[in-house]
Chains A and B, each alone.
Chain A
Amino acid sequence: MHRKMSHSRAPIIAAAFLCLLACGTAAAQMEVTGSWAARNHEFLTGDGLPVDFTGIPLNEEGRIRALSYSESQLAMVERQCQGWPAFYLVQGPFGLKIWSDTDPIKGNVISYTIGAWEDRAPLTIWMDGRLHPSKYAEHTRAGFTTGTWEGNTLVAYTTHMKAGFLRKTGAPSSDEATMTTRYYRHGDILTVLGIIEDPIYLAEPWVLSRSFQLSAAPLSPIGPPCVTAYEGSVGETAPHYLPEKNPFVDEMTTKYGVPRDAATGKPETLYPEYRKKISSGAAK
């Protein structure tokens, strides 16, 4: 009898041991699903004035392109529902609704999805080890995203986005831009760190972050549908400004005292030493 019980216990103990090891691996991850409310205590959208590229390290080409942008483009029927790329996730005013899809047999997470907003497509983070598609594959507004866990941090990497905008005010992004997002959870706070690279329009990686708070009230996983409407003719060309002709280029200066170099996103303006340039009157 004793011998029988010992034999029957051995596999159970071994299984329990293996489970504990496996559970240890699983517990190294955090629960990121749920409704995460925006608090908007950081002003990231920069959409208060037409020419506000403060904090974006634009290169010269990016700056020229940004200053050519006219928000009247959004009156064009074909652009009204273009939405914003995945970068907007870290800037927009809305919360995040995150859910997972699991393998029905193994129970592991295949993907996380961050629900859409009215003007941002849903973002799916593939966790199943699949590779990014060929560089010739279709680019979409949301792009293609894969994710891994690094300790308790979810790390996602997005490629294959359509050319669009880094910020709603017209700072451009190319279809070669990528974004690495890291999701840090501390209690009921989820902080998303975004590192955006764009070899065409950025002089250096653009690093920004935003925090969300766990919400008991469920957020909607979808935004309202975008419906186009005729808003009058904008002429035969897309609204734009020719070089040196943007009438709003000094609005940040007159309204807030922000030098033009900072308003137009020169990389040096992101660093503390630029403050001395301002105080000495050397900032332009």
Chain B
Amino acid sequence: MRVFVIATLVTLAFHATAPRAAGQGGAASVAAGGASTAKASAPVDLTGYWVALVTEDWRFRMITPRKGDYRSVPVTEQARKIADAWDPAADEAAGNQCKAYGGAAIMRAAARFHIAWQDENTLRVESDYGMQTRLFHFDSAAPRGERTWQGYSAAEWQRPASLKAATTNMRAGYLRKNGVPYSENAAVTEYFDMAPLPGGGQVLLVTTIVDDQRFLQQPFIVSSQFKKEADGSKWDPTPCTAR
């Protein structure tokens, strides 16, 4: 009897501490190695249509800032020279209209985003502005294939209710539309968190950290917020523009 009681207590204690250990570990990729898929084990539902609330950095996000306006971005001298030489016509001619819509910048855009499960272990994030598609892979951390604007994103759930995405393998792009650059070696770490909105509704908070030793003196850290919309009736796909 005593053995049974002790065994029961130990089992219960193990279950009580197991989720905590996952949360503290910070890398609790539930899908990896487990029977459950990322979709089935999602601690938070990020799916749906989200609209950016442009309550910060308005003049950098809603309109194209003037050349040389890199206020609050910790650019290196080399980056400054590139930004000062920004030439949107040259980007258009080279087919690089999407340079400001890459993985390091797209979540800061004044845009709508549609988040949905592509399959059991891949979360798809689409933007109407620039018509970009990001894929968050829960089942593999290794970048694959050619560099793209959105790169390769390895994702994991962080208990109790966050998503972490680490993006590499991007093409060089712009942090702002006026040519403030990031290099192809830039790495992006993002955290997705949710909050209730007073009076109903939900807010999605995305914290973005861009590391780029070539063009940034220190990691560039911004956080952007989005409001959930009932449906996709305001979804308005528009192609990339360089200006």
Interface residues of A (CB under 8 A from B): 6, 10, 13-14, 16-17, 20-21, 23-24, 27-28, 39-44, 54-57, 151-153, 180, 182, 184, 186-187, 189, 191, 193, 195, 197, 205-211, 213, 252, 256-258, 262, 269-276, 278
Of the candidates A21, A54, A186, A191, which one forms a contact with B158 in the assembled complex, judged by CB atoms under 8 Å apart? A186
Interface residues of B (CB under 8 A from A): 2, 6, 9, 12-13, 16-17, 19-20, 23-24, 26, 51-60, 62-63, 65-66, 71-74, 110-112, 128-129, 158, 160-162, 164, 191, 193, 195, 197-199, 203, 205, 207, 209, 218, 220-225, 227, 234, 236
The complex places the Cα of A28 from the Cα of B9 at a distance, in Å, of 21
Of the candidates B56, B59, B160, B221, which one forms a contact with A28 in the assembled complex, judged by CB atoms under 8 Å apart? B160
Contacts A55-B56, A271-B54, A278-B62 given; does A191 touch B223 at CB 8 Å: yes
Check if B62 sits within 8 Å of A275, measured CB to CB. Answer: yes
Q: Which of chain A's residues has its CB closest to B201's CB? A: A205
Contacts A191-B205, A207-B225, A211-B221 given; does A273 touch B198 at CB 8 Å: no
For A6, what are the chain B residues with a Cβ–Cβ distance below 8 Å? 2
The complex places the Cα of A213 from the Cα of B223 at a distance, in Å, of 13
Of the candidates B63, B72, B158, which one forms a contact with A40 in the assembled complex, judged by CB atoms under 8 Å apart? B72
Check if A21 sits within 8 Å of B13, measured CB to CB. Answer: yes
13 contacts between A and B (CB under 8 A): A23-B20, A40-B72, A41-B72, A184-B162, A186-B207, A189-B191, A205-B198, A269-B58, A271-B52, A272-B51, A272-B129, A274-B110, A275-B110
Of the candidates B13, B72, B227, which one forms a contact with A16 in the assembled complex, judged by CB atoms under 8 Å apart? B13
Nearest CB in chain A: distance from B212 CB, A: 13
Check if A187 sits within 8 Å of B26, measured CB to CB. Answer: yes
The complex places the Cα of A10 from the Cα of B236 at a distance, in Å, of 66
Besides A193-B223, A207-B203, 18 new A-B residue pairs in contact (Cβ under 8 A), listed by A number: A14-B9, A20-B16, A39-B221, A41-B73, A43-B71, A182-B193, A184-B193, A186-B158, A191-B191, A191-B207, A207-B227, A208-B225, A209-B205, A256-B66, A257-B63, A258-B58, A271-B51, A272-B128
The complex places the Cα of A24 from the Cα of B234 at a distance, in Å, of 43
Nearest CB in chain B: distance from A61 CB, A: 19
Check if A272 sits within 8 Å of B203, measured CB to CB. Answer: no
Q: Which of chain A's residues has its CB closest to B241's CB? A: A279
The complex places the Cα of A187 from the Cα of B62 at a distance, in Å, of 31
The complex places the Cα of A14 from the Cα of B20 at a distance, in Å, of 20
Check if A189 sits within 8 Å of B55, measured CB to CB. Answer: no
Contacts A191-B191, A256-B65 given; does A55 touch B55 at CB 8 Å: yes
For A57, what are the chain B residues with a Cβ–Cβ distance below 8 Å? 55
Contacts A186-B162, A278-B63 given; does A55 touch B17 at CB 8 Å: no
- Report the 8 A-B pairs with minimum CB-CB distance, sorted nearest first: A54-B58, A151-B160, A55-B55, A209-B223, A20-B13, A27-B20, A272-B110, A17-B9
